Amino acid sequence: MIQMTSSTTGSDGQGGVAGPDDFDVSGLRRGKVLLVGESMGLFAAGKEGPCSQVGAFSASVAGAELNVAIGLKRLGHTPMYVTRVGDDPLGERVRLFMEENHLETRLVSVDPSRHTGFMLKSKVTTGDPQTYYFRKGSAASAINAQNIFDIDLAEVSVLHLTGILPPLSSATMEATDSLVARAEFNKIFISFDPNLRPALWPSERRMHAVLKKLSGQADLVMPGIAEGEALFGYTNPEDIGKAFIGNGARYVVVKDGPRGAWATNGSRGLYVPGFVVNSIVDTVGAGDGFAAGLLSALLDGQHMSAALTQACAVGAMQTQSPSDNQGLPTPEELTDFENTHARARRREPAFA
């Protein structure tokens, strides 16, 4: 974690002067963004109904950290994505997919003794789709501390972590600890999305302990409402933000679904409304889009209010696509969306 103070200059996300509750994020400089995680084959159902009864699936590639990397790349930044795949057709698909999205593959290791993980995703018209993961014993679960020590951090300014990598295996847990230790030693800004996946953890108690520890080591934490409730027992953004600040984070951005997002640095806080879309195709990947939009804006030197606005826009755009990352925009697409879509109804100050 970088120990610095924040200032209050910049724009308000609407093209004007920053309000009294707005703030900057300090210790964040433009540079490469390091992401480490599992890439998986994604098979999305072609029609509604249980995956066991659907006859046709479309094939793609997914993974929380990969989604964020793609989002950052499309917005003009330079992600360094580290993963491990099997020597199989899905592993080859991952590498080809990365090349198609202009991501470097030099940090992708091929493990001949393990398979590439994959997931099934149902199709729905309302609510969240059902997802089924097949990742036990996957190549990515063998990511280890030595892999982390081999990474050249010379040009890295941000490490973005999620809560998905640590529980994949004891090796990935050690790799996560090594990532944080190296980032702290090299004064690299740490961003963390808790990304609750209870099925990956041996127990709820262990999940809570590790995610709280990582949240306390991060400069910026991006929980959702469900994560705030699971880890600290709160269900409104303001209390969740205070809880994560009290746990050690310097900055907290609480994702409030389509309604918007709340951010705080412990002394100031602001809420930015989301964007209204006519319909939602798929919610999976929206949180990753939010993270990419937020980090991109902060790396560009934007004020927190402007960064929240961009994050909400990218997250909303991703809900318009059946793929986990197809809806992630270019700068031109993002600007067009922000200019043509209304804002959501703002929450009341008390977050009732």
Domain assignment of residue 7, yes or no: no
Domain assignment of residue 139, yes or no: no
Phi, psi torsion values for 215, nearest 5 degrees? -60, -35
What letter does residue 11 receive in the DSSP assignment? Answer: B
Domain count for the chain: 1
SS3 label, residue 42: strand
Strands 260-264 and 189-193, bridge-based pairing: unpaired
- Whether 121 and 42 have beta carbons less than 8 Å apart is answered as yes
Instruction: Return per-residue pLDDT of the chain as tens, 352 residues.
Output: 865 433 333 444 443 445 789 999 999 999 999 999 999 999 989 999 999 999 999 999 989 999 999 999 999 999 999 999 999 999 999 999 999 999 999 999 999 999 999 989 899 888 888 889 999 999 999 999 999 999 999 999 999 999 999 999 999 999 999 999 999 999 999 999 999 999 899 999 999 999 999 999 999 999 999 999 999 999 999 999 999 999 999 999 999 999 999 999 999 999 999 999 988 887 778 999 999 999 999 999 999 999 999 999 999 999 988 777 888 999 999 999 999 999 998 665 544 3
CB atoms within 10 A of CB 203: 9
Domain assignment of residue 56, yes or no: no
- Whether 50 and 122 have beta carbons less than 8 Å apart is answered as yes
Domain assignment of residue 118, yes or no: no
Domain assignment of residue 294, yes or no: yes
Domain assignment of residue 121, yes or no: no
Domain assignment of residue 4, yes or no: no
**Could you say which of 24, 282, 288, 324 is catalytic?**
288
Per the annotation, the verdict on 150 as an active-site residue is: no
SS3 label, residue 48: strand
Domain assignment of residue 12, yes or no: no
Query: CATH number of the domain that 261 lies in?
Result: 3.40.1190.20
Q: Is 5 exposed, middle or buried (0-12, 13-18, 19+ CB in 10 A)?
A: exposed
- Whether 346 and 320 have beta carbons less than 8 Å apart is answered as no
C-alpha to C-alpha distance for 175 and 215, rounded to whole angstroms: 16
The residue written with tokens 């433009």 in the block is 30
Q: Which structural domain, as residue segments, surrounds residue 256?
A: 32-37+63-81+144-340
